[in-house]
Amino acid sequence: MNKTIIKIISTGKKNCEMFNAYVKRIHLWKLHILTYNKVPKYQDLINHKKETIFLLDERGMYMTSHQFASFLEKNTMHHSCFIVGSATGFPQDLLEVPHIKISLSTMTFPHELARILLMEQIYRAQQILTRHPYHKD
């Protein structure tokens, strides 16, 4: 059985202990982590035909952890690609193409912290979907 792929594209340090700890815990989906020192050409890294593209944006839609888990569960027809913008945000060519924008908070976070928050929510979604007691209601 092929696992759905969750791709995360971001800039920053590759060796973040907390980020990597969550990566090791995720088994429900196959993760494809792409981390760059400088802003990459995002359009070269995404597949619009096979991937649902999510931009992490403070103005994006809000979801509870349960809604996010349900969203990931329903998105098995396509792979998910989450893009964490750099300190300068997203390049204009990426913003011109329609994508789903989601928000982790109404607050602004450094991109490296946003990566950790995203990974924790992916892990939390896995725990919710497998009925593990990690997530407390």
- Which residues, given as ranges, of the chain have pLDDT below 70? 1-2, 76-78
Query: Residue 101 in 3-state DSSP?
Result: strand
Asked if residues 120 and 22 have their Cβ atoms less than 8 Å apart, the reply is yes
Q: Is the dihedral of CA 4, 39, 54, 118 positive or negative?
A: positive
Please state, in angstroms and rounded to a whole number, the distance separating the CA atoms of residues 43 and 34.
13
Residue 1: predicted pLDDT: 44
CATH code: domain 5-85+97-129 is 3.40.1280.10
Residue 77: predicted pLDDT: 62
pLDDT tens track for 9-34: 998 888 889 999 999 999 999 999 99
Residue 4: predicted pLDDT: 85
What does the domain layout of the chain look like in residue ranges?
5-85+97-129
Is pTM beyond 0.85? Reply is: yes
